[in-house]
Chains A and B, each alone.
Chain A
Amino acid sequence: MAALGHFNYWIVVILMMIGFYCVIARGNMVKKMIGLNIFQTSVFILFISAGKIIGGSTPILRKGVELYSNPLPHVLILTAIVVGVATTAVGLALAMRIKEAYGTIEDDLIHDDEPAAEDEGNR
């Protein structure tokens, strides 16, 4: 039963592994971004579930309430969510540009070892 008492951490771990697996094992760049999002979300849950105090009320000051949940993790995670949105936007924008430049977003269809002559374009 002790293990079940920490079920929030189990959810975090499972989500984290799903996301991480997706980032590593998938060749499709959009799927990689989805995996990255799940991975980040698991960390958000880690923070937020740590802020909950059993029996604690929503952290809005009012009469008759003694015990409040900790609002700080929410604020931190709000920032982290914004960071996550920005990361997703940049990643998807890059995927779009890669699609335009290479015609595909499958990692294994893009061959990095292009002929040396192409380095000429790299100034």
Chain B
Amino acid sequence: MTLVELMPFSVLVPLIAAPLCALLPGRILPWLLALASAIASTVIAALVLPQAIDGPLSYAFGNWPPPIGIEYRVDSANAFVALLVSGLAVLATLWGRKSVNEELDQPQGVFYSLFLLALAGLMGITLTGDAFNVFVFLEISSLSTYALIAHGPDRRALLASFRYLIMGTVGATFFLIGVGFLYIMTGTLNMADLAERLPEVADTRTVHVALAFIIVGMGLKLAMLPLHLWLPNAYTYAPNFISVFIAGTATKVALYVMIRMIYTVFGADYSYAVLPLTAVFLALALAGMFIGAWTAIFQANLKRMLAWSSISQVGYMLLGLALGTVAGLTATFLHLFNHALIKAALFMAVGTVAWRVGSVRIEAFRGLGRQMPWTMTAFALAGLSIIGIPTTAGFISKWYLILAAMDAGQPWLVALIVISSLMAVVYVWRVIEAAWFQSRPADAETVREAPLSLLVPLWLMVGLNFWFGLDTRLPVAGATAAAEALFGPTGVTP
């Protein structure tokens, strides 16, 4: 079996394991199956990445040659995102067992089955080369995510999930409308084929509208600023394990789809010329960076604080996209990768405290620095990474973003990036101050450090933040290759 034939199995393994998982009794067996399939998926994605950097791999389902059949077309951009999604799923699952046991009394077969479906959906979106297939996988992952969020222990999880469902479905349907217009104009759904046939009809109103619908639809899914309303509650009230997983992956995959549609299907020159994308993305990115960070500062619920911080970080990614250069896109991909690591580590740390203390409010963190030193140190280190202190992963992506801004001749952006990073200092510092510089309330019971099964994955995640802060070969090479693959062999900048 060649590597190309192995490639679709990074989607198929979790997809097929999901129904099996629902049949398994108890708690430990479903978890083991979920972990095993996530690992299998990661291994395949890791094998595919180096090959995909050399050139795109193509797999035709049922041997129906594209553009008639459904094709998986993997170049460095999606191989990079696929590795990120599946790798994060492994670490989240490792961490999640104790947390899920705490939050769910019932047998967990169905819960992990939904998780595997969400993973398969996200991997499918990433690998597929077919625009309609993107919609199907998008809905697979979204529907299972709604159900997973509704598993949250608070009754407000239900409301959060319902509102996410309404907005998410509207977003996905907008994407479908866009794809429908493209299909009406070109008669094909295969992305590579679309890219070939679009230039003939590029100057029609229909194609312009299709681009707008696709961008708005994906903007909803990736929580671009005015469309972000579903995100804070969804992240806050989801089970902690799910918060870790979707905070690291869901918005990133949506961003990838948006980039793929803009760059590969429509072509960067065309998209940026037809719609004022530079201005729109720039405005929304800056608004997101500041409103997100500003709101995060005032949150008493730390999961909600991290959710607002996510909105602010999505702003950085859009900023790279707004620049419309290879350097900017590289910074976007780098931040997509690094932010997933950072946010997963932060949510894991908060989740570990929640597991021990039973609350995620900032008052519950008072004096925890001495009682749970390992957990809180991990939080502080991941916090350094989200601020962007040198030697952390967060620094690397912000550095590349600053370089890209200078390169594009917009030095004023550098100041704004630095200012919004300083706002991140404030919200991270609030937690550190509560944990170390306030004493534990007299009536609070003393808590012990969390067990190793939570600490080890957490520290692995934090370790990755520093590893990729010092040894930047994998993310930088991956992001550069991804950006270059999307700009195409010519590498012309708009």
Contacts and interface: CB of A to CB of B under 8 A. Distances in A.
A36 interface: yes
B335 to A, nearest CB: 29
Interface stretch (B54-62, B172-180, B268-276, B325-333): B172-180
Contacts of B233: 112
A34 B355 CA distance: 39
Contact of B143 (A47, A87, A121): A87
A123 B359 contact: yes
A101 B155 contact: yes
7 contacts: A40-B173, A50-B183, A79-B136, A94-B162, A101-B155, A101-B158, A118-B154
B103 A43 contact: no
Nearest to B355: A123
Interface string A87-123: 1001100110110011000000010101010111111
A14 interface: no
B156 interface: yes
B152 interface: yes
B99 to A, nearest CB: 9
Chain B interface extent, by class? 35 or more
Interface of B: 102-103, 132, 135-136, 139, 143, 146-147, 150, 152-156, 158-159, 161-162, 165-166, 169-170, 173, 176-177, 180, 183-184, 189, 233, 236-237, 240, 300-301, 303, 354-355, 358-361
A116 to B, nearest CB: 6
Contacts of A39: 170, 173
Interface centre among B147, B158, B189 (most CB of A within 10 A): B158
B423 to A, nearest CB: 23
Contacts of B159: 98, 102, 110, 112
B360 A86 contact: no
B358 A90 contact: no
A46 B176 CA distance: 10
Nearest to B150: A94
A67 interface: no
A123 B242 CA distance: 12
Interface of A: 20, 23, 29, 32, 36, 39-40, 43, 46-47, 50, 73, 76, 79-80, 83, 86-87, 90-91, 94-95, 97-98, 101-102, 110, 112, 114, 116, 118-123
Contacts of B173: 39-40, 43
A43 B176 contact: yes
Given A97-B158, A122-B153, A40 B103 contact: no
Given A122-B152, A123-B240, A91 B139 contact: no
A60 B340 CA distance: 49
Given A102-B155, A119-B301, A122-B154, A90 B165 contact: yes
Contacts of A23: 166, 170
A86 B143 contact: yes
A67 to B, nearest CB: 16
Nearest to B303: A122
A122 B161 contact: no
A116 B155 CA distance: 14
Nearest to B168: A87
A112 B163 CA distance: 12
Contact of A32 (B146, B161, B166): B166
B146 A122 contact: no
A62 B208 CA distance: 39
A4 B166 CA distance: 33
Given A23-B170, A32-B166, A87 B176 contact: no
Nearest to B157: A122
A43 B139 contact: no
A36 B301 CA distance: 32
A101 B301 CA distance: 22
Given A39-B173, A43-B180, A94-B146, A87 B162 contact: no
Contacts of A80: 135, 176
A32 B170 CA distance: 11
A91 B236 CA distance: 20
Given A98-B158, A123-B102, 19 more contacts: A20-B170, A23-B166, A32-B166, A39-B170, A43-B173, A43-B176, A46-B180, A47-B180, A90-B146, A90-B165, A91-B166, A101-B158, A114-B156, A116-B361, A118-B154, A121-B154, A122-B236, A123-B103, A123-B360
Contacts of A94: 146, 150, 158, 161-162, 165
The 3 closest A-B pairs by CB, nearest first: A101-B155, A122-B154, A94-B162
Contacts of A76: 132, 189
A50 B180 CA distance: 9
A9 to B, nearest CB: 10
Nearest to B361: A119
B166 A120 contact: no
A73 B340 CA distance: 37
Given A46-B180, A120-B359, A120-B361, A90 B147 contact: yes
Contacts of B176: 43, 80
Contacts of B177: 43, 46
Given A39-B173, A83-B136, A87-B139, A116 B161 contact: no
A122 B135 contact: no
A46 B358 CA distance: 50
